[in-house]
DNA sequence: CAGGATCCCGCTAGATACTG
DNA sequence: CAGTATCTAGCGGGATCCTG
């Protein structure tokens, strides 16, 4: 009679449906389907799972070329709020703030890292597709 | 002296770096890190890899509750342009247009489907994190 | 009636300048 | 160094119109 873990997991899966606009998971999916979220997770997560490390604000800012301070701060705060990363303030002079992925953030990094990998791996194919598509219909 | 396939792959990986703002793969990553892209891929890809199927415009529109016609059309065209899906017009009355993932689109669906799954699986944890975070600092 | 193009508006991303 | 505050332009989104 005791519910198995598999049954509990199936139950949890059935609870949320990201296709429904009103479902909380839909809003969560919208949030993580964001270019800055993906890039920040890729930065903090490193190339391999064990390469994750804490980074300073300026370090992230430098790595993610093109990000504005506003979007970086805003996105970091949102990720902290959701428990995907921790923000640590060290009162040195000048002040030091580091960001580090939580276990939950690391689990999501498995996926976002895949996105980055996919983009880099299939870039040539996509470029070829675009050319073919443009040639086909001008 | 002949380059191995692994070496060629490593070379291809080194070519693109999604962290660089000027790199084409960065723009590609920005594109696929988009909520409508993710949802459309999830819709056309189905729950399991073999559940992928062609869908009509109105069918997608209904499934992705909350998407505007403009964004749906715009995103579908962009995905077609990149070769992630095909657009097929059947001259019935009234006209029928179906969209279907290509192999490349299916490969990306492996990842976006994971995002959706992750959002639905970790929703409860995130909600708990938010509450804890708000309680901690009002 | 399905499919989509166009116009208009509000919001938000992003650049710039300023502060603890 | 690590942010906040302010302003503007461009994008997202709804209403409307067009076409087969």
Q: Are A127 and B24 an interchain contact pair (Cβ–Cβ within 8 Å)?
A: yes
pLDDT (tens digit, 9 = 90+) per residue, B10-60?
Answer: 665 568 999 999 999 999 999 999 999 999 999 999 988 788 889 999 999
Return the structure tokens found at B98: 């179906």
Virtual torsion, Cα B26, B32, A87, A72, nearest 10 deg: 60
Q: Are B115 and A82 an interchain contact pair (Cβ–Cβ within 8 Å)?
A: no
Cα distance between residue B16 and residue A41, in whole Å? 18
Q: Are B126 and A12 an interchain contact pair (Cβ–Cβ within 8 Å)?
A: no
- Structural class in CATH, domain A34-137: mainly alpha
- Tell me the average pLDDT of chain B: 89
| % of chain B at pLDDT higher than 90 | 71
Return the structure tokens found at A83: 């428990």
Instruction: Give B30's Cβ-side CA count (13 Å radius).
Output: 14
pLDDT truncated to tens, each residue of chain A (138 aa)?
455 656 556 665 568 999 998 899 999 999 999 999 999 999 999 988 889 999 999 999 999 988 999 999 999 999 999 999 999 999 999 999 999 999 999 999 999 999 999 999 999 999 999 999 888 865
| % of chain B at pLDDT higher than 70 | 88
Cβ neighbours of residue A115 closer than 8 Å, sequence gap 6 or more: A38, B29, B32, B33, B111
**Segment (H or E) for B33:** none
B87 closest CA partner among B101, B69, B75, B71: B101
Q: Are A111 and B116 an interchain contact pair (Cβ–Cβ within 8 Å)?
A: no
pLDDT (tens digit, 9 = 90+) per residue, B111-123?
Answer: 999 999 999 999 9
**Facing B25 at nearest CB: one of A18, A108, A120:** A120
Question: Does residue B138 have a pLDDT over 80?
Answer: no
pLDDT, position A103:
97
Interval B93-118 mean pLDDT: 94
Question: Does residue B1 have a pLDDT over 50?
Answer: no
B residues 8-67 closer than 8 Å to A (CB) = 12-13, 15-22, 24-26, 28-30, 32-35, 37-39, 42-43, 63-66
More confident residue, A136 or B72: B72
The pTM score is: 0.89
pLDDT, position B92:
87
pLDDT, position A24:
93
pLDDT, position B4:
61
For chains A and B, count residue pairs whose Cβ atoms are closer than 8 Å: 167
Q: B75, B80, B120: which to substitute to probe chain A, counting the most A Cβ within 10 Å?
A: B120
Q: Which nucleotides of C are covered by protein (CB under 7 A)?
A: 1-7, 13-17, 20
Q: B8, B122, B131, B137: which to substitute to probe chain A, counting the most A Cβ within 10 Å?
A: B122
pLDDT, position B6:
61
Partners of A30 on chain B (C-beta within 8 Å) are 35
**Facing B33 at nearest CB: one of A35, A82, A108:** A35
Cα distance between residue B27 and residue B48, in whole Å? 28
What are the phi and psi torsion angles at B68 (to 5°)? -85, 155
Cα distance between residue B34 and residue B74, in whole Å? 12
């Amino acid at each position: 009679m005791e519910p198995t873990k598999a049954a509990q997991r199936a139950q949890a899966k059935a609870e949320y449906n990201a296709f429904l606009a009103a479902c909380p998971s839909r809003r969560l999916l919208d949030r993580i389907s964001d270019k800055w979220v993906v890039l920040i997770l890729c930065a903090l997560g490193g190339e391999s799972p064990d390469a994750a490390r804490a980074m300073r604000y300026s370090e992230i800012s430098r790595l993610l070329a093109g990000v504005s301070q506003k979007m970086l701060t805003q996105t970091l705060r949102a990720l902290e709020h959701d428990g995907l990363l921790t923000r640590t303030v060290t009162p040195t002079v000048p002040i030091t703030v580091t960001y580090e992925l939580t276990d939950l953030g690391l689990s999501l990094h498995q996926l976002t890292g895949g996105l980055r990998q996919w983009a880099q791996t299939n870039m040539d194919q996509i470029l070829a597709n675009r050319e073919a598509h443009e040639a086909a219909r001008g």
